[in-house]
Amino acid sequence: MRTANPALNSKMFGRAEGLVDSTAMTVEGTALKAGFLTLLLGAAAVYTWDKTFQYVEAGNAAAIQPWLWGGLIGGLALALITMFAPKAAPFTSPLYALAEGLFLGALSAFVEMQYPGIAFQAVGLTFCTLFAMLALYTTGVIRATPAFKRGIMAATFGIMMIYLLSWILRMFSVEVPYIHGSGLVGIGFSLFVVVIAAMNLVLDFDLIEEGAKRGLPKYMEWFAAFGLLVTLVWLYIEILRLLSKLRQR
């Protein structure tokens, strides 16, 4: 099994093989846990969304920074722990969902203040994309063939390298031209990234289905649900970025 999602990869699933217990992973169980994690993320996001508007209206926007950065850093730390310790997923994945919710709620509120309505559009498009990709996968229109997996993995790796390079250069006050702007190149790049993020959902679905077929331990439902949430968070951020560029034109 291969996927571009670092949380859902063959090495992680391979570690769980041979550890099958009487209560095995199922697709339905994974879906329920993914829904639960999404609700946790949404609840945390609503909290910091409301707090952000309150602080800004009170002229104290800086007060939301601990929530924003705490959620970002905490989410990253919890994601790393979960990826390297899948057995901890039943405990770390809900905490990850809460941390990401705190971050995304504050981030979305700030963007919403600049472009009213954009956050709700991004949420709607994210879930529409999720259900569309699920329908395409379950009907067999899109299949996770070896060639498809290799292509998506390569594209995802390339995107991550571009973002890493941009982050490093930005520390030296150097901007990567075009791709972060609202010109045609920047919009085209963001659209490409959104498509690749959406294609990663297909790989996630395939990994979840394969894990259930292998009869992996029950805790892998939490791990797989966590991996799917990672992709959804990435997809949402990229859609928000794309819509922001379109609003700037």
Write the DSSP assignment of 29-95 as a string of letters: HHHHHHHHHHHHHHHHHHHHHHHHHHHHHTT-GGGGHHHHHHHHHHHHHHHHHHHH-GGGHHHHHHH
For residue 200, being part of any structural domain is answered with: yes
**Count of domains observed in the chain:** 1
**What is the pTM for the complete model shown?**
0.89
* Residue 89 · residue 223 · CB < 8 Å: yes
- At residue 180, the pLDDT reads 82
Domain for residue 153, yes or no?
yes
Domain residues for the domain of 101 are: 22-248
Q: Lowest mean pLDDT: which of 184-188, 204-208, 239-243?
A: 184-188
Q: Mind listing the pLDDT tens digit for each residue in 67-117?
A: 999 999 999 999 999 999 999 999 999 999 999 999 999 999 999 999 999
Mean local confidence (pLDDT), 119-133: 98
Q: Is the dihedral of CA 109, 7, 165, 196 positive or negative?
A: negative
Q: Is residue 5 part of a domain?
A: no
Query: Does 4 fall in a domain?
Result: no
In a domain, 160, yes or no: yes
Within-domain flag for 17:
no
- Mean pLDDT over 19-33 rounds to 82
In a domain, 59, yes or no: yes
Q: What is the pLDDT of residue 12?
A: 56
How many C-beta atoms lie closer than 10 Å to residue 88's C-beta? 16
Span 162-181, pLDDT tens digits: 999 988 888 887 777 778 88
The whole-number average pLDDT for the span 122-138 is 97
Residue 104 lies in a domain: yes
